Each structure stands twice: as structure tokens, then as C-alpha cells.
Structure 1
Amino acid sequence: MSAVQSVDRALDVLEALAERGGEAGLSEIAARTGLPYGTIHRLLRTLLARGYVRQESDRRYALGGALVRLGGVAERMVAVWAQPYLAKLVELSGETANLAVMEGDFVVYVAQVPSPRRLRMFAEVGRRVLPHSTAVGKALMADRPDAEVASLIERTGMPRRTENTITDLPGMLAELKRVRACGYAMDLGEEELGVHCLAVGVRDGSRTVAALSVSGPAERISALDLEGLAGDMRAMAAGFGAELGPAGPASPVGSPGSPGSPGDGGTG
């Protein structure tokens, strides 16, 4: 079935706003979408009328409140779909598995299956963190051009969470180059001392929309076959991305297992 052009273009406008941190001027939307100004104006009028976009006092456009309801429902559905993948990841690693997405300039944890071990790490579902100090944040940023990463970091800053946190833009761009080259991201005690995490991006076909991670005590994560685990995680991410993409739901991976109860703190 062919795409409806006006719907396709309206979604391009919304995605352009999201990629600019939720707010952009007309010229920025045009640069991102390649659409003529007249077309963008017509699309924005409809989106404004439906509450999906609002116009600020400086005449810039921002994502509107009507998206909150849709986003909340979609986030809950993604969390449900992720459970079999996360459970399988816990079986493979023995550690807590997480799913995170980017909301504006923040990383948000939307689903988790805890490790069955007595000492385990977890990031509370719904927790929002800046992307520079987490493996999931790096996996999500690695899909973006350096200029876009620089704009994001200019807005958020790079506060030092621990003595290991990367706090300068050149250092982060070098780290993201490494992530792109090896296919996975690491947090080596950068968000919380003593906690290590490994993450891979989840693509829906055209872009990275989420990140899968495992997190645990530094000594246990370091003892894992990280290259092998990252390969398994990329395969899982490909399956989950296919489920999220236009082709529709895929067959679940493995059995969901028993989630267990939250543990003693940490991140992913």
C-alpha cells in the first residue's frame, strides 16, 4: 500500500521537532525535512489545530500536549512487547536487562527485567537521565550526526556524575565513534561507581528508536564475554526493531520468564 503523502509529511515535521529537542524554527524544520515553506505552513496549521504542535511566543514551534496521551500509551505497549526480549537477555547474561528510549533531550527507562541474583542493579522504570553518562544514552546518540550530538549536549550540558564521567564534547564524540565502530556502548562507572553497563541500539528500519542494556556490578560485567554478549544483543535488537517497525509484530524471542522483584539500585 502506498503512503499517503500528506500524512508522511506531517510525520516528517513532528520528527524534525523531536530531533531538535522538541522545538524548532521554520527554517530548521525545512532544513530537516526538505519541504517547501508553504507546505510546512499548511501542515503546521493542521497540527496546531489538533494540539500536536504549539507555537511559542518567539514564533518557534514545539511539540504539543496532544502527543502526551499518544506517547504514554505507545510507551506502555513498547514495554509490553519488550518483555520477552529482556527476559531472554537476563537468561544470557545473568544480569538486569533494560529498555530505554529518548524523550526530548533525556533518556527514559521504559521496561526492565531484573537479575535473579541477590545483588543486582536496576534503574527505576520511568527514570529520566541525561544521555552522556549511560550506555543506553551513548547507544541512542551514536545514531545521530556529530553536529546533532553537539547541539544536544549544548542544551543539556555534561555534568560529572562520577570521576569516570566523560564531561567534554571531543571526548564524547570520540566515544561515539568507538560505539559506531564496535556496535555497542559501555558505561564504566560513569553514572554510578561500581556499576557497569553494556547497551546496543534498536532500529526500526531507518533509525535508532530505543536501546537494550544489561547492567550489574562492575566485576561481574567485566567477567562476561562482552563481544559475544553484544553480538547476541544486536541479534535481539534486530528482532525487536522488526516488531516495532512498519512490518508489524514479530514472533517473541524465548519465554518471558519470571521478572522477580527490584534490587539494590544501579543503572543501565
Structure 2
Amino acid sequence: MPTSRTPDASAESAAARPAGGVQSLERAFDLLERMADAGGEVGLSELSATSGLPLPTIHRLMRTLVACGYVRQQPNRRYALGPRLIRLGESASRLLGTWARPHLARLVEATGETANMALLDGDEVVYVAQVPSKHSMRMFTEVGRRVLPHSTGVGKALLAGAPPEEVRALLARTGMPAATARTLTTPEAFLGALEEVRRLGYAVDDNEQEVGVRCLAVPVPDSPTAAAISISGPAGRVTEEAVTTIVPVLQQVAEELSAELAASGQPG
């Protein structure tokens, strides 16, 4: 889930800005991220309070973002993230999947099972990359497929760090339909599963999305957007005994992918 920004973050970023950085650009992107943290819609006074920037500066930046289509002004005078960001997000998601594929291929080689990468997009989980197992009996999830978080291992991994009240609000919006007899269908059960994820360091989908299929998932630490990787396979292969060998590989690959994403975000 997004990390809240402190009011002095703009000053900190200005201090850390490399030579040649453009302050107005940094401030504009900071405001966009603050809007995302706030759920996508804010008022100017809220942005001023959280960013520490004066209202005239924020108003000038928001006018520019509105003119470019990255922000829109609502009838209630509040500002919302604009439709042009969707194309950027879709392109970035595809690129993220491209970066992930070599890491997922390592997972397949090490575990023998299908490897996936998923993001949290709004209230849904979307799969952005997959490398299939070489077994004739294997799991296949179409890239671009969207599922509800409560019935998947990646969903649990993605939400494990979220405050309980945010998780409850999400579940209230999506509902908790049962995909199988094993699906968790109450907020209490799901919150209990998230506590287990935090304790163990990994998530399990035990026949909850599809009968006969088990998945193991871990979050990608420090990802710029909430991301998780997983392996999935027949329950007869992804056994309790196999967990002890698969999970360390998952965690190592997640750390390596995190490092690559961090490096890609550094100025050249």
C-alpha cells in the first residue's frame, strides 16, 4: 500500500536533488503521489497541509497538470487524478512485467513451478508477468487477468502491510465471494490470514482460488507500487514439505527484483 508522505518531504527531496534537477517538476510529481496516497482526490488545502507548499504554488502547478490532462478538477472544486495517467500506468505495468520475467524464469528453474508477478490496481489484483512451468501439468494465469485479493496468495502478500481499516474498507467494496469451499469469506478470517503472512513472511493460497492448486507468494519489498511474486502448482507438488525450500527462493528473488527496480529509478 502507498506510504504516507510527511509535510517536509518536499524540502528533503529538494536537499537531495541532483545538480540540474527541475524543482517545479519534482513538486508536480510529489503532488501527484500525494493525491494517489489520499485515494486520488484532494483539495488544495489538503495538499498544502501535507506538502508544506504555499497555496499559490500548488494552484499554479495544479493548473498546469489539469491543462496537460494528468489532473482534472471536479464540480466540487476538488482535484482528481486524470485519465492521461492511465496510459502511463499501463505502459509502466508492462515494463515492470518485462523487468520481472528473468527473475520469474529463475524461480521456475529453482522450483519447477509456474511463477507470477502481480500488482494491486485499485481494489483488484492484476497479473503483469508469468513464466510457465515446464511440467506438462502446470498452472496458467493469463497476463492481464484481474482477481479479487481475498482468494489469492498474491492478494494476501500485497495487503499484508496495509492497515486493518483499509483492508476492511476494500473488502466491503469488493465483497468476498467464494471461488471454492476453501475461500476465506469473512473479514476476520482474512485479517487473521494477513497476520499469519506478517508472522511467516509469505502467503499461501491453499485451494482457495482453484481446487487442487496451491500458491506461495511474497511481497516485493520497497516496490514503487504494491507488487508481489508467487509460484503456483498442483497441491500434490506444492506440499508443506516443499514450502521450506520454495519460500527462501521466493524471498531471494523478491529482494533481487526490488534492487533492480531501485536501481532503475536512479538518475543516470
**Alignment TM-score, normalising by the size of structure 1:** 0.81
Deviation at 1:139, TM superposition (A): 0.7
| Greater Cα shift, 173-182 or 41-50 | 41-50
Distance 1:143 1:229 in 2: 22
Distance 2:47 2:172 in 1: 22
Distance 1:236 1:172 in 2: 26
Would the alpha carbon gap of residues 117 and 160 (structure 1) be closer, same or farther in structure 2, given more than 3 Å must change? same
Distance 1:31 1:160 in 2: 43
Percent of paired sites with the same residue: 51
Would the alpha carbon gap of residues 116 and 131 (structure 1) be closer, same or farther in structure 2, given more than 3 Å must change? same
Q: Is the 8 A contact 1:18 1:104 kept in 2?
A: no
Distance 2:44 2:199 in 1: 33
Distance 2:123 2:252 in 1: 27
Distance 2:31 2:222 in 1: 19
Is 1:219 the counterpart of 2:233? The answer is no
- Give the corresponding residue for 2:207: 189
* Structure 2 residue runs without a partner (length 5+): 1-14
- Give the corresponding residue for 1:108: 126
Would the alpha carbon gap of residues 6 and 231 (structure 1) be closer, same or farther in structure 2, given more than 3 Å must change? farther
Distance 1:226 1:28 in 2: 50
Deviation at 1:144, TM superposition (A): 1.6
Distance 2:45 2:206 in 1: 36
Q: Is the 8 A contact 1:17 1:29 kept in 2?
A: no
Deviation at 1:13, TM superposition (A): 3.6
- Give the corresponding residue for 1:239: 256
Deviation at 1:146, TM superposition (A): 1.7
Residue type matched to 2:189 in 1?
A: G
Is 1:248 the counterpart of 2:264? The answer is yes
Residue type matched to 2:145 in 1?
A: R
Would the alpha carbon gap of residues 52 and 24 (structure 1) be closer, same or farther in structure 2, given more than 3 Å must change? same
Q: Deviations over 1:7-29 (max 9, x none)?
A: 444434433444455x3343996
Distance 1:224 1:32 in 2: 52
Q: Is the 8 A contact 2:44 2:58 kept in 1?
A: no
Residue type matched to 2:187 in 1?
A: L
Q: Is the 8 A contact 1:25 1:59 kept in 2?
A: no
Give the match's secondary structure for 1:107: strand
Q: Is the 8 A contact 1:19 1:104 kept in 2?
A: no
Give the match's secondary structure for 2:236: helix
Q: Is the 8 A contact 2:160 2:195 kept in 1?
A: yes
Residue type matched to 2:231 in 1?
A: V
Deviation at 1:64, TM superposition (A): 1.5
Distance 1:165 1:119 in 2: 23
Match of 1:48 among 66, 71, 85: 66
Match of 1:204 among 219, 222, 234: 222
Distance 1:192 1:63 in 2: 35
Deviation at 1:241, TM superposition (A): 0.7
Q: Is the 8 A contact 1:197 1:215 kept in 2?
A: yes
Q: RMSD of the TM alignment (CA)? A: 2.8
Q: Is the 8 A contact 1:179 1:185 kept in 2?
A: yes
- Give the corresponding residue for 1:174: 192
Q: Is the 8 A contact 2:119 2:225 kept in 1?
A: no
Would the alpha carbon gap of residues 175 and 114 (structure 1) be closer, same or farther in structure 2, given more than 3 Å must change? same
| Greater Cα shift, 180-189 or 220-229 | 220-229
Deviation at 1:204, TM superposition (A): 3.0
Residue type matched to 1:110 in 2?
A: V
Distance 1:28 1:121 in 2: 49
Structure showing greater radius of gyration is 2
Give the match's secondary structure for 2:214: strand
Residue type matched to 2:107 in 1?
A: L
Q: Is the 8 A contact 2:217 2:229 kept in 1?
A: yes
Would the alpha carbon gap of residues 137 and 35 (structure 1) be closer, same or farther in structure 2, given more than 3 Å must change? farther
**Alignment TM-score, normalising by the size of structure 2:** 0.81
1:57-206 residue pairs with structure 2 within 5 A? 57-204=75-222
Residue type matched to 1:100 in 2?
A: A
Distance 1:189 1:28 in 2: 48
Q: Is the 8 A contact 2:123 2:170 kept in 1?
A: yes
